Structure 1
């Protein structure tokens, strides 16, 4: 479909507006996280060697770490440096924050990418299989399973799968304890249970949404007209049913992107995956402000970026109608 200049201008305005909203959301998120970090008892200087350091040593350590600077100024300094790609230095071990979180981000990114690669075809296939045969045993089975999975929290589903597949049957590793990225790449069975939990929880509502979209489209008059005109089944599915049925799911996928990211973090905590969630938990325990803010900035940017891409795809996706039914 060709786009005129008049059509491109609203799209460009939409892009600029959504980008601006995303930047504002990220800024508010960072301010809230920094404020909550300040409310935690103690700071990095108190946590480090708190049993052996006296008051003077803690004061000296606080000055060395830069904690004697006013919190607002400290946050603005970090924000200005982060805008140039410098996330600062960890309070806990003195390493550059960017290097510290790079490895865990790769692990979390691997989980997220694999989960998304499994999620999309599963949602489309299951949703269409149920929606094309409403009321059939297949439709009832898909709907029942999706509702059952959707009603179980992530951590409960993880515990159930660990108890059954890892402990009772001994088929899969129960946790990632002792495993690193190299081990995971060499032994992909470590990924099975975490991916099963992430995909199951995110796919469950999307499958029902796609199924409902397919059923609704099949009841439209232009579908009946296309069938009377002898439109081939493949063309009917790809050109008329799929665009209309998947349009609502595309919008929901934007919100699901956040759920996918949070699901990865929850699963990492349950399975002790050496990902960004474990790094964040450690940073909170150490009151490591630069690491906390860097992780929130990166994951927040990813979540906002996913939402932006889905919104842009929704703007570009124009559902088919009765026009061109005979094509």
Structure 2
């Protein structure tokens, strides 16, 4: 079929053409009209059915989509906790450093970037905009801080991804701080997971099945192998991201908060078993088993 817009009838035809059994077409159309939408649902078919005939019914497609959504909700809470903990941790380090006034670190990190002004504008992107003439306009509340911003302002207006340069800077300044070293090496993986969850991108995509081409830092690889993850699991991007997020959460967040998130994830594993009869021993069931294995490892 072409990439043109499809009617709801054509959407059902597309599914059938890709060997997804649709037992009740009226109910399936209503689901695609009011509960989820075709262009998200077919991403699962495209991914898993390239690995063999994995999704062979509309009921299974609904279940996979629902499990993906529920896992995203659970993991987003994990990532937001980590984001808050990192901000608190960075401010604690800087506050306790008698040689740091909170302004110097920001200027150092900005000046190290290959495009300092562009990087600075990115740091303020959540409180700024460009007008119709292309002028960079900062919200009035933050205009006074722009010339020489302190770290507490940067922390306030920044999402997780914008803090990476500050984590890297401090980790190099404090090479004996194991928490900072682990954060630095884990950061990009956790941030990818956070963005996927926050922006409602499906988790069960090719990153859930295909070994990644990029290398994993030796320290991260060793830590996860010691946690009893296999080499294959470590090199599967989704499993790597989930495992590192749980590991970092356990290190940086309160035990009470951690237990709440683990309880949510264990409930997801229980929910996953509800329709296990839909799945054979295929790529989907193997993925679900690996995710629950990671959750179990970090439950202890």
Q: Does TM, normalized by the shorter one, top 0.5?
A: no
The structure showing larger relative contact order (alpha-carbon pairs under 8 Å, at least 6 residues apart) is 1
Larger Rg: 1
